[in-house]
Amino acid sequence: MKNVFRKLAIVAICTMAFSANSSAQKADKEDYKNDKKEFRSSLTDDQKAMWKAERKKRKIFHKEFKATLKADQKAIMADESLSKEDQEKKLSTTLSPSQREMWENNKKQVRENKKAFKNSMTAGQKKSYKNMEHRGEGEANHKKKHLEKSDD
């Protein structure tokens, strides 16, 4: 009888811990969405145009870059067992010189555009952006840790 109560107590404690963790994750996700909404609403029309133009450039690059990929490279990108970071590392070892140059030029351009965008931001926008980025990193780290645990 004591064993039954112990098992029930363990199950109840585990359930409560899981439930609390799940609630905290939902709250973090909501906070991230609110921070993102607040940040985007604070942007000027010029900043919104910069943001949209950068997004459009990234989409074009991804489409053009994907068109250069060979079958084995596409297989790496389609491998769901790899995290995005691992996919990028593995893919980088298979890039041709022209693909590598294309990749590096894009990274350089993105960095320059990000710097220009950040230079256009007010102190309040920078603070809001930093909050949003921090929460987004937390969410990404949680997903990464979750994936690593599921691999074990």
Per-residue pLDDT of the chain (152 residues; tens, 9 = 90+): 667 666 666 766 766 665 555 566 666 778 778 878 888 888 899 999 998 999 999 999 999 999 999 999 999 989 999 998 999 899 999 999 999 999 999 999 999 999 999 999 999 888 888 877 777 665 444 444 444 444 44
Crossing angle of the two packed helices 45-68 and 97-119, in degrees rounded to 10: 170
* Model pLDDT, residue 96: 94
The secondary structure of the chain in percent helix, strand, coil, rounded to multiples of 5, reads 90, 0, 10
Token pair belonging to 101: 């140059």
* Model pLDDT, residue 128: 84
Full-prediction pTM beyond 0.95? no
C-alpha distances in Å from residue 150, one per residue of 91, 144, 145 = 23, 10, 9
Specify whether the CB–CB gap between 99 and 61 falls below 8 A.
Answer: no
* Model pLDDT, residue 16: 61
* Model pLDDT, residue 75: 93
* Model pLDDT, residue 120: 92
